[in-house]
């Protein structure tokens, strides 16, 4: 071909390749995992492009779902089996199953990222699974446990107990692995979730068209949020402009004022919506449509929606967690309710820890070894420190010295 034409062709080809590469980079994002109940699969959705990029076979009847703290693994319970499938998020394949007992339902990861809790409905117990070894290391008896919510400071876990004739919220001390109290209910509890700051527990009950707002310091319902028929779950995500609730009857995502508990506008989503998950910034919500076989992506700022076709009867959805920036392992300490959690925090030398002020008040960090801290650390802000040498590192809140914490750094 003539040289001039060849040069133009080469420039156009290179330009197109660069454009495609740039588009690919821009499109990437954390992944959403959708459990298709009737297909026994999980659809993997790229949240950057809102497209399904993989389908993963899992245990029968995918029910509960949770992401590891570093986003490396996604856990899926199969309520038609005795297994929790462990999906390796780097390959989107099941790495191995964990045998937990008959008909596991809800799953949740403890705030320290070290323990997975599984509601083993068919055996009336909560299984404690060590994430490092992926082995069951403890159990607590709870009648017909359905879903689990852990307060962000890790101090307590609430379980929706659906035992006929004895419906209740069962409160567990995770450290002691023991039931500490029960809250009787007149109707079966469905789901329960702590807001990101741990101030309120939001739960729903079968046959009640309202969200219950419970104060965990008194175990009293302090407010109700009216909804349409069959609300399933509600939560307040970090960074979200409003609380959100999945309401199955009208097929909508209800927004509510987290300060006043007043219901606001509704956004239509798929048929028979079942579950929701939030993007890291809280401004995008992903809602499964069990009756329409889709995932609705809701922009809470604009109210606009997009629909992604997934498998048959999608129920649960979880968005892959992303490690905190500046921390190779995602080690994190939450400052909430004027306390550090978890403490002590155990890490290996060379790793980083990020403190996040999840409280309503300003705090600070002062390290007893003389390392530079921060004062003040305002609500919503973070501070990261890398620990290069083994040892025990004590610290306090520079604003409230009675708040004390500790990081234990091992040699490996």
DSSP track, 121-144: GGGTEEEEEETTTTEEEEEEE-SS
The pLDDT score that the predictor gives to residue 46 is 96
The pLDDT score that the predictor gives to residue 12 is 42
First to last CA, the chain: 62
Fold of 31-319: Methylamine Dehydrogenase; Chain H (2.130.10)
The pLDDT score that the predictor gives to residue 49 is 94
The pLDDT score that the predictor gives to residue 169 is 98
| Portions of the chain given CATH number 2.130.10.10 | 31-319
Asked whether 205 and 192 are in contact (CB, 8 A), the reply is: no
Asked whether 29 and 47 are in contact (CB, 8 A), the reply is: yes
Asked whether 216 and 198 are in contact (CB, 8 A), the reply is: yes
The pLDDT score that the predictor gives to residue 331 is 80
358 phi and psi angles, rounded to 5 deg = -95, 15
The pLDDT score that the predictor gives to residue 360 is 84
Question: Which residues of the chain fall below pLDDT 70?
Answer: 1-28, 322-330, 412
SS3 (DSSP) at 21? helix
The pLDDT score that the predictor gives to residue 153 is 85
Count other Cβ atoms within 10 Å, centred on residue 396: 18
The pLDDT score that the predictor gives to residue 328 is 42
The reply to whether omega before 29 is within 30° of 0 (cis) is no
**What pairs with residue 123 in β-bridges?**
none
Residues 288 and 397: their CA atoms lie apart, in Å, by 41
Angle at 236 (CA atoms; ends 208, 132), nearest 5 degrees: 105
Residues 216 and 173: their CA atoms lie apart, in Å, by 13
Fold of 332-410: Immunoglobulin-like (2.60.40)
Report CA-CA distances (Å) from 222 to 66, 167, 213.
29, 19, 6
The pLDDT score that the predictor gives to residue 163 is 97
The pLDDT score that the predictor gives to residue 6 is 47
The pLDDT score that the predictor gives to residue 330 is 55
Q: Can you give the pTM of this predicted structure?
A: 0.76
Upper half-sphere CA count for residue 67 (Cβ side, 13 Å): 25
| Portions of the chain given CATH number 2.60.40.420 | 332-410
The pLDDT score that the predictor gives to residue 183 is 98
């Amino acid at each position: 071909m003539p040289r001039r034409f060849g040069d133009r062709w080469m420039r156009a080809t290179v330009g197109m390749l660069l454009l495609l590469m740039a588009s690919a980079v821009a499109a990437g994002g954390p992944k959403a995992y959708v459990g298709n109940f009737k297909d026994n699969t999980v659809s993997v959705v790229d949240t950057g492009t809102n497209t399904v990029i993989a389908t993963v076979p899992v245990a029968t009847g995918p029910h509960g779902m949770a992401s590891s703290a570093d986003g490396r693994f996604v856990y899926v319970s199969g309520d038609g089996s005795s297994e929790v499938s462990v999906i390796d998020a780097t390959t989107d394949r099941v790495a191995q199953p964990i045998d937990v007992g008959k008909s596991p339902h809800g799953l949740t990861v403890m705030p320290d990222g070290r323990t997975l809790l599984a509601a083993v409905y068919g055996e009336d117990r909560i299984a404690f699974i060590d994430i490092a070894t992926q082995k069951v290391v403890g159990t607590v008896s709870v009648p017909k446990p359905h879903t689990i919510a852990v307060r962000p400071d890790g101090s307590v876990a609430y379980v929706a107990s659906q035992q006929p004739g004895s419906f209740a919220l069962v409160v567990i001390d995770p450290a002691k692995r023991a039931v500490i109290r029960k809250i009787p209910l007149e109707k079966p509890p469905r789901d329960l979730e702590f807001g990101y700051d741990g101030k309120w527990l939001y739960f729903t009950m079968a046959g009640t068209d309202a969200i219950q707002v419970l104060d965990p310091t008194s175990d009293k319902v302090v407010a109700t949020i009216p909804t349409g028929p069959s609300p399933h779950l509600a939560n307040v995500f970090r960074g979200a402009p409003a609380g959100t609730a999945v309401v199955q009857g009208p097929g909508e995502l209800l927004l509510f004022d987290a300060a006043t508990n007043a219901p606001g506008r509704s956004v239509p989503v798929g048929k028979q919506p079942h579950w929701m998950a939030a993007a890291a910034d809280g401004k995008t919500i992903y809602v499964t449509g069990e009756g329409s076989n889709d995932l609705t992506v809701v922009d809470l700022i604009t109210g606009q929606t997009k629909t992604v076709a997934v498998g048959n009867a999608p129920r649960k959805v979880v968005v892959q967690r992303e490690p905190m920036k500046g921390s190779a392992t995602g080690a994190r300490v939450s400052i909430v309710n004027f306390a550090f959690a978890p403490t002590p925090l155990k890490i290996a030398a060379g790793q980083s820890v990020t403190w996040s002020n999840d409280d309503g008040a300003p705090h600070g960090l002062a390290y007893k070894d003389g390392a530079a801290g921060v004062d003040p650390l305002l609500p919503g802000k973070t501070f990261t420190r890398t620990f290069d040498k083994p040892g025990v590192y004590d610290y306090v809140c520079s604003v409230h010295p009675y708040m004390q914490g500790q990081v234990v750094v091992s040699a490996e």
